Amino acid sequence: MAGREPVSIIQAGGNIVATITPIIMFGAAGRMGRMILECAASSDRPYQVVAALDRAEHPGIGQPLATLIPSAPPSLLLAAALPESVPNGTVAIDFTTPDSTMAMLDWIEATGASAVIGTTGLEKKHIDRIAETADKVPVVFAPNMSVGVNVLYELVAKAVALLGDPYDVEIIEMHHRFKRDAPSGTAKRLADVVIEARGGNQTTDIRHGRMGLPGERTSSEIGMHCIRGGDVVGDHTVSFSTLGERVELTHKASTRETFARGALRAAAWVSGKEAGLYSMKDVLGI
- Residues annotated catalytic, as ranges: 175, 179
Rg (alpha carbons) of the chain, rounded to whole number: 20
The dihedral region occupied by 183, where left means phi > 0, alpha psi between -120 and 50, and beta the remainder, is beta
How far is it, in rounded angstroms, from Cα 283 to Cα 87? Answer: 22
Say if residues 164 and 208 touch (Cβ distance below 8 Å): no
Q: Which residue type, as a one-letter code, is found at position 40?
A: A
